[in-house]
Chain A
Amino acid sequence: MIIKNKQNNFIWLGLAISAIAPFFFPNHITLLTYIWVMIILALTWDMLGGQTGYTSFGNILFFGVGMYVCAVVQRDMFSSGLDRFERVSEVVVSLNASEYFISLAVGTFSGAIVAVLLAVILGSGILGMRGHYFAICTLGLGHAAAEITSGIEYLGAGSGMVTPIYPSELLVGKEGFYYYAFLLVAITTFFLFRKIYQSQFGLALNAIRDNENKAESMGIHTTQYKIAGWSISAFFLAIAGAGVGNVIGFIDPVEIAFSGPTFGVWMIVMAILGGKGTIWGPVLGAIILYSAKETFWTYLLGWDKVALGLLILIVVVYFPKGILGYFKERKQLSNSILSQKGES
């Protein structure tokens, strides 16, 4: 009980700091926004990758789909600017404040719904496969999506799209708005996922991770649980994608939306670094990895990728279960020793 209170105090303190942080670092708001983005990415990856033990390399698909669907809705909802320009990638739509926020909300939600539908359709195809086979199947998802998008003129093809310009007449600037929007989404994701992991559903995911044959022979419809888990991840991942597209202001199929080597890999590394299969692990991993990445980039330019690689190497060698996984294991070990002492 005491531990739980401590944890809650910690959460409140963290939230208070997060809420006022933009006022103290007005020049680094976008940087801080990305920490929330990273937390969402790591948390959503961990639902299947950590809690269910199904490593997915294709979650970036939902991120990009959310981004594109939202951008299309924002572009076409209030103006049909398409015919005024020769190339879709040059279309810049200017909206007034209410149009901007309505199209953003509708776009984000539609993006999330499309991502969930995709997760259900793809999931019923490939989530029947076990472990490594599923992982291999997901390898091409992001890349395929990037290739397909690059061929569709309606989506700007290879040159990408420009998201609408943030209305200028508002009290809250663009950076501030997206900071608090992502703060809200990240917190919602965190608390919802924590509730899920404490529920029967969460335990079913863990059971699949530990012994899927057993879970099946006990009457658990394992594939349905995996699909449901992937869909929940896809929902929040698409919301994150929709927001990131607007923060950057420009969407490109290979470098941004379906970018496997950046967002796609980071989400996996962050979750593993912090400790996969725990609720705090992905949060911790996201904060550490992103801070390290930015620090290295600032002070060790040219060697930043090397330094980041070294950090990951150290973690994998000395904390193969991640930072939180390491402490969890030690706690479990002392539990086990205590109970043996009590027995004899």
Chain B
Amino acid sequence: MDLLSVNSVNKSYGGVIANIDVSLTVPKGKIVGIIGPNGSGKTTLFNSIVGHHPIDSGEIYFNGEEISSLPIPKIARLGMLRTFQQTHIYGKMTCIQNMQISSDIDANWKRVFNPFSKDVDEMVNELLAFVGLYKKRFLLAGDLSFGQQKLLEFAMALMKKPTILLLDEPTAGVNPTLINGLIDRLHQVNEEKGITLLVIEHNMRVVMNLAEHIYCLANGTMLADGKPDEIQNDQRVIDAYLGN
């Protein structure tokens, strides 16, 4: 069953056309990758999916429900979360607080004036250990390095127990040794927690390792899609990257 399906979405910013007739499907429990040269409309597509801006035409379905015109918090509550290319964390709060606030706080309005429950704190410690930030838990998130902030943001998304996670360049700016660890964790999250992943990635080695199916965007249109080795040998994709 397709968890997420995007049907002929168009989006333009004034005269700049960012997405033209883009369609893709993400089956439940899989890892799907999106590649494409800079400015090809990948992040715009992410923004359209999570409701960051209205789309010009087309439909987006999540779990069988149309979400094309829902606002961001509603879509997030349905179980679709995204991380950002530039890290978005709460800089003046400690790592623990960053994680706590990412739990499902207003699930119960009556408890909103209580401190966080023990279950939440346990989950926080467990997930911080999972991404290797347990030692840094009392530090302000803003004092972490860029790579560590990316890991923190990833852990924060996991606090919400999402159905699908949209990752915008999870390895950009992360050092090469950490990247291997991150790939392992992404696989682990996918297999053990059953979280579907949709990943924008520039690092070919990472995306070929990770994704089972890859879409390639160029100049706002869907250029090609297929298995990693098909994409790797597709002449159109090679041309797009080399600028022909």
Contacts and interface: CB of A to CB of B under 8 A. Distances in A.
Contact of B138 (A206, A209, A219, A339): A339
Interface in A191-236: 195-196, 198-201, 203-204, 206-207, 209-211, 213-222
Contacts of A211: 88-91
Contacts of A336: 139-140, 143
A203 B100 contact: yes
Interface in A168-208: 195-196, 198-201, 203-204, 206-207
Interface in B113-142: 113-116, 135-136, 138-140
Contact of B114 (A200, A209, A220): A200
Given A206-B90, A214-B90, A339 B73 contact: no
Interface in B145-192: 156-157, 160
A195 B105 CA distance: 16
B92 A209 contact: yes
A200 B100 CA distance: 8
Main secondary structure of the interface of A (DSSP, over half): helix
A200, A211, A213, A343: residue with the most chain B Cβ atoms closer than 10 Å: A200
Contacts of B101: 200, 203-204, 206-207, 215, 218, 220
Interface residues of A, number: 29
Contacts of B102: 218
A220 B105 contact: yes
Contact of B73 (A206, A221, A342): A221
Interface stretch (B13-21, B36-44, B75-83, B208-216): B75-83
B226 to A, nearest CB: 30
A232 to B, nearest CB: 10
Given A217-B82, A220-B106, 13 more contacts: A199-B112, A199-B113, A200-B105, A203-B93, A217-B81, A218-B76, A218-B81, A218-B156, A218-B157, A219-B76, A336-B139, A336-B143, A339-B138
9 closest residue pairs by CB, A with B: A219-B76, A210-B90, A214-B88, A219-B77, A200-B105, A203-B101, A199-B113, A207-B101, A201-B112
